Structure 1
Amino acid sequence: MPLFNYTVISYTGKKINGQIEARDRATAISTLRKSQLIIVDIRELKGEGLKQKSRVKLEDLIIFTRQLGALVKAGVPLVKGLNILFGQVENRALRQIISSVITKIESGSSLSDALAYYPNMFSHLYINMIKAGEFSGALDAILERLSTYLESNERLARKVRAAFIYPSVILTVAILITAIIFLKVIPGFESIFTSLGASLPLPTQIVFSISQFSRKYFVVAAGGMVGLFFLIRQILQLPAAGIAFDRLKLDFPVFGRVIRKVVVARFSRTLSTLLKSGVSILVALEISSKTSGNRIVEVALDKVTSRVSKGEKIAESLMESKLFAPLVVSLVAVGEETGDISSMLDKIAYFYEDEVDVAVGNLTSLIEPFIIVFLGVLIGGIVLSIFLPILQLTQVMGR
């Protein structure tokens, strides 16, 4: 389908440049005018497909989903609602996708089918929930539920990032400070002590040797570390290595418990949201396994799906996986008995999201003293090794 570059002015007077996919120039102009945009210029790009020069952020997707749900709930026709959002969205990539979705819907496609053309933007879960909303006639409620789910997932991801960012930043700063000391500060003291011809204490000799080695092989060491980083990334792309790493993350002391809580919270929230949206239990379990973010958990949940398809209860299947705590299994069993499993899954999700909050706080409190001690010993040792020769010289001069 042809792609057109356009320059338009919005109803607020703002000048907007972007791209739109349409059958022809007339259709592109019509789509832009429906969004209450004044067309300044529009030109077809020959031989080029749809380009996404900017990435669509999760925040943009959440806002788009919530606003579309509000428009549908207000009784605005779907295409008109998409045209309104097209005129408001600032992200160029998202605007291109909306224009393409409008064209596909006007050509007879459903919303879910049109969104399915962009799997990198709209996940399998997103598509299936939209499809369930179209089938049930409750698209507005599904969009609202979907935006709430995405927001919950984003909050959970932020909590996990917060747990790892603090120690990572502190260690990075410590490495940079240490590198500056060894590469810039210590050589000055080394030249002074060498010119005096005094014998140096063993700690000082060790520090000076490390400094000399760092200066001599700094480029090689830095290149080696960068190369090692990319090598590890490539190795982790291998299925066996990736599975081993995911298992290590689950079993890692302290951090592993946080990751397990996150996995349970995400699984419970995803499965509950899908079931409330009318997605069948087997499809919901399959999608939930793909959103777990851990291949060990994904394999275990695939086995759970297989057992459930053969008639086993969900709680029994989860117990067999040995990845879920007895509390989770018990609540799911109660949900199955009462016929309200989605509510029980919501309670599990809320409980474990609170647990993640507490675990992240405890993790930060636990790591902080170790980092302070590590930095104190490192910097203190370097400073002491430099001052030892100065103290010796002072004693000699005092005699």
Structure 2
Amino acid sequence: MAVFSYQAKTKDGKKLKGKIESVTKRDAMEELRSMDLVVFKVEPMNALLNKDITLRKTLKEKEFIIFLRQFATLLNAGILLVDSVELLAKQTTDSVLMVALETLASDVQNGEALSVAMTKQPKVFPDLLVHMTHSAEVSGRLEEVMDQMASYYEKQYRIKKKVETAMTYPLVVGTLAIGITIFLLVFIVPIFSDMFASMGGELPAITKLVLNLSNFFKDFWILMVLVVLLLVLASQRLLKQERYAYSKDVFV
């Protein structure tokens, strides 16, 4: 049995917070709902430290696209909005999407508009989808707009996968080339260095450069690894900033 913390509300509007033991998160939510509670949040707790476990999980794009397509199909078939969201929450295999949809269904059931409920979860529902949903609510074309948004995000997903596939080959080749070069400098070149030293004479400038690089890599390989790690971390941090991300996109 696992311990879960929850936030819920009674039919009278009273907010509740507490803990519940259950086998899975889904079972915990079902048990709370059987108590006539409107569940807002259920999170696993650390049994040893009795603190919430914070796991960084991201929504899978493919699951999100499938949700939009199925959502449009259910609405087009005449299924009620709340029933459609709850049904999709039970069917999805993505834990992030499941929690988001369960919260979305609860908010809509409490009288909020779908677009308003989506704004509470910006990490799951993009701004474009929220605005398009609001327009669809006004015009009464929700199922049509959801189908269009599914096609839009599906096209984006395919383009992204094509770019990733195109970038994989040069990235692998470049990594192998750098690895082989470092291997030669660290393990092979020193053999020739000893041979050149025993022969005597003046070495060409390019040969001296290669030997110096080999000695540098042998003596400061730890420093080189740290520099590479720092550059990777710094680039990731910079790319999270909008202006640097935009510059990167323009350059690429």
**If the length of structure 2 is used for normalisation, what is the TM-score?**
0.74
| 1:18 corresponds to 2:25 | yes
Q: Is the 8 A contact 1:53 1:93 kept in 2?
A: no
1:80 shift after superposition: 1.6
Q: How far 1:109 sits from its partner (Å)?
A: 1.2
Letter in 2 for 1:217: F
Letter in 2 for 1:226: L
Provide the residue aligned with 2:11 in structure 1: none
Q: CA deviation at 1:191?
A: 3.7
**Tell me, which stretches of 5 or more residues in structure 1 are unaligned?**
9-16, 33-41, 256-399
Residue of structure 1 aligned with 2:143, choices 137, 140, 151: 140
CA offsets, 1:262-304, max 9 Å, x none? Answer: xxxxxxxxxxxxxxxxxxxxxxxxxxxxxxxxxxxxxxxxxxx
Matched, 1:149 2:152: yes
C-alpha distance in 1 between matches for 2:60 and 2:220: 41
Structure 2 spans left out of the alignment, 5+ residues? 1-6, 9-16
Secondary structure of 2:220's counterpart equals: helix
Whose RCO is larger (CA < 8 A, sep 6+)?
A: 1
1:35 corresponds in structure 2 to: none
Number of equivalenced pairs: 230
Amino acid at match of 2:231: L
1:99–1:45 Cα change, 3 Å: farther
Residues 1:83 and 2:90 aligned together: no
User: Aligned equivalents of 2:158 and 2:170: distance in 1?
Assistant: 20
Say whether the 8 Å CA contact 2:44–2:53 is kept in structure 1.
Answer: no
TM-aligned CA deviation for residue 5 of structure 1: 6.9
Q: Could you say which residue in structure 2 is the equivalent of 1:62?
A: 65
Percent identical among aligned pairs is 22
**Superposition CA RMSD, Å:** 3.7
The structure-2 alpha-carbon separation of the partners of 1:223 and 1:50, relative to structure 1 and needing over 3 Å to count, comes to closer
Per-residue deviation at 1:246?
A: 3.8
Deviations 1:96-146 (A, max 9, x none): 111111111111112212111110111111011111222222211111111
Amino acid corresponding to residue 33 of structure 2 in structure 1: T
Q: TM-score, normalised by structure 1?
A: 0.49
Aligned residue runs from structure 1 range 209-288, under 5 A: 209-234=212-237, 242=243, 246=246, 250=250, 252=251, 255=252
Change (3 A) 1:134 1:216: same
Deviation at 1:227, TM superposition (A): 2.1
Aligned match of 1:27: 33
Distance in 2 separating the partners of 1:53 and 1:249 = 26
Query: 1:230 deviation in Å?
Result: 3.3
Matches within 5 A, 1:1-399: 1-2=7-8, 17-18=24-25, 26-27=32-33, 53-194=56-197, 196-199=198-201, 201-202=203-204, 203-234=206-237, 242=243, 246=246, 250=250, 252=251, 255=252
Higher relative helix content: 1
